[in-house]
Structure 1
Amino acid sequence: MIRSTINDAARRGARFRPAVACVTWAIVAGAAPARAEPVKSDPAAAEALFKAGRDLVKQGDYAAGCPKFEAALALNPSAGTMLNIARCHEHEGKLATAWEDYHRAQTLNRETAGAARKRELDDIAIQGIKDLEPRLPRLRVVVTAPPAGMEVSRDGKDLPSAAWGEALPVDPGKHEVSARAPGHKPRTAYVTLEEGKTSTVEIALEVGTTPSGGVPVWAWIAGGAGLALVGVSAYFIYDHQAAIDALHEHCDVSYNGTYCASGYDYGADNGRKNLDFGLALGLGSAGVLALGAAVYGIATAPRSKSAEPQGVAVMPWVAPGAGGAWISGRF
């Protein structure tokens, strides 16, 4: 497979020694490894994709050309293709990614046929690593008094405990560091890294102050208030029905009007009926809203990865002279 390199002029000046530059580009052009083909490899397609990528990059279209190199690498991994991908990532400003690419090119170069070609490719990778070293941003994550089960992630990827406190190469730009542990408040910090500088993020978790694995206190208060309001509302519903029954028992309604038994206080039971209806409606609505807020607080409370799935159900109940609601589920 014929290999050439991306346009050197677009790289803000050669980072290679002048005496080496003229040779190294030609060497990258002949970087196809003579090794056992992996399963599902397609050297012919890889060659076509590489040439397409090379032509696009020569025209300055890195956005379209660099993915061609990635596709060619997937079909036929080689040190030459990997070196061109490293140049692409340098052009994009992904310095740590390019640094890693150069190291991977060295690994792939072990399969390259021909001692001279292998030596020249290795020189290119070594020079690329050397040029990038002083420019690499580094991020050190310092964890203070880590509790049991603590997990730290950087940009959504787990950061092993062995890496805590180490200044690791990271691409320039904004990064997110998150930490969590059972029984502690999670924490997220953001840091913007610059070329050639080392930044430190210190993480210390606070013990959680909420019961039942992080459910906020207000959710339990709202749930209790909601249950009380629904219970009182149920009582007024019962009393409202009792007033209606009393009115039906002592009064008859006809087209000429309402006639009640002598001595029966119609106004008292009628007023009680109307008052009970208003109180039941108002208190019941407030209770339902409070229960809804409680369910939301319980269901959305932060939990560790190992927590079991949550399930919450609210079941109102009414009985003669009483009422309320059950909240059930896994909290």
Structure 2
Amino acid sequence: MRPRPWLRALLFGAASCLCLCALPGPAAGADDAAATPSPDAVEKAQSMFKKGATLYESKRYALALEQFRASYAAVASPNSHLYIARCLAELGEHTEAYLEFELVAAEAAARAKTEPRYAQTEQTAQLERDELARKLALVTVTVAHPDAASSLAIAGKEVPRERWGKPYPVKPGKTEIVLRTRTTSIPQTLDLSAGQAKTIPLDAAPLEPSGAADGSPPLLDEGPVGPLSEAPSPRAYLRPYAYVAGGVGVAGLGVFTVAGLMANSTYSDLAETCRGPCPISRKDDVDAGKTQKTVANVSLVVGALGLVTGTTLFILSFTGGGAGEPQRAAASPQLLVAPGFIGVRGAF
């Protein structure tokens, strides 16, 4: 059950009062005067903190952030720092808020050694940081062999060296990691979901070429060596023409067969019906028979020439060599012609 508005306002006011009380006051000892803020600075910080708390309660987070930052600049209090992180979270700046919560926790832990009241601030910052981590992804990048020139960028932001090897918040989705050294740049792209944590190891040491350690010259990597293949015949370009000529020959023989059958059918019909010279009324049939016979004869010639030409070009496409290359008779196909037989012999 959600608290009533008046109760929530009362609780927030009490928390604000506690934070105001936790702001450092003027020191009594003369030895700490240099490190202790002046009463005017404390009063100014408390005033701006009150304004920020009022704006925060009315959900005017951008204006509240300005007041809390001004208060922290006047007096570096972990409590005003905590509200800076809270404002960033409310404004949707989740990655910045996560990093700010971590700074608050570290600052409050250091101050709690001498000022126990800040122990509660440390715990609160850690809890709110962990709650915010559910909306983010965490990337831990470990860098081996870094030098003074090495730099690390995550999601386009430079990562301080003291944060290397620690979880770094990023928005869910694709994230680019770039490790830069003196000589190279090592990129990595990750696709992370909300709540996911991943560790990426990178090495900043340059890769030494093979043989560099013992002083021998490096070996050139020429890539994988594939099986040796025989160079194609320089006349291989004739093969498509052979296929075309062969196709024309087959088509010619097909037309010859059809036209020949039609011509035979026409002349058989005329011979049976006319029984001698045909009358003038059958002249069209006679002309049709002659045309069919002519088409059959021409198709036969075309078909024969096409097959002969295609066969010749196909054989020639496997023969021939480049300048200075000896011919290998065993690998060249040969045309064999014998009574009742025609074929091709060769080694492939």
Q: What's the TM-score once normalised by structure 1's chain length?
A: 0.43
Computing the radius of gyration from Cα coordinates, the structure with the larger value is 2
Q: What's the TM-score once normalised by structure 2's chain length?
A: 0.41
Which structure carries more strand by proportion? 1
Q: Which has the higher contact order (CA 8 A, sep 6+)?
A: 1
